[in-house]
Amino acid sequence: MEETEEDKKDEADYKRLHSFPLIRHSDMPEEMRIETMELCVTACEKYATNNESAAKMIKETMDKKFGSSWHVVIGEGFGFEITHEVKNLLYMFFGGSLAVCVWKCS
């Protein structure tokens, strides 16, 4: 079956729509939030088929940059209830349905 120009345009629009991070909630300072968001995007793109490796990369980098005790959850369709330090939480979506939650709890 041949793809029409309209089908290709729709697919390109969909990819562009879901290729940026969407922050659902964050109480981090702006500079930390931007760095964390960029790190999450990089990890999710690098390990597109392995969420565990992406989470490990994010956690290790956050531990080095901002001190230890960081936690990361990446996936589709999960629920959670956490306790975190104030100004140390980022909850975002990336790539359509992939959720990323990063928080610090000492």
Per-residue pLDDT tens digits for 79-100: 889 999 999 999 999 987 899 9
Structure tokens at 78: 């999960």
Q: Please tell me the distance from the alpha carbon of residue 35 to that of residue 96, in angstroms, as a whole number.
A: 21
Q: Report residue 78: phi and psi, to 5°.
A: -135, 160
Q: pTM, whole model, 2 decimals? A: 0.81
Structure tokens at 45: 């793109």
For residue 69, count other CB atoms closer than 10 A to its CB. Answer: 15
pLDDT in tens, 5-53: 676 666 656 555 556 889 999 999 999 999 999 999 999 999 999 999 9
Quote the domain boundaries for residue 78. Answer: 1-103
Question: What's the CATH code of the domain at 72?
Answer: 3.30.740.10
Instruction: Report which secondary-structure segment, H or E, holds 103.
Output: strand 98-104
Domains held by the chain: number: 1
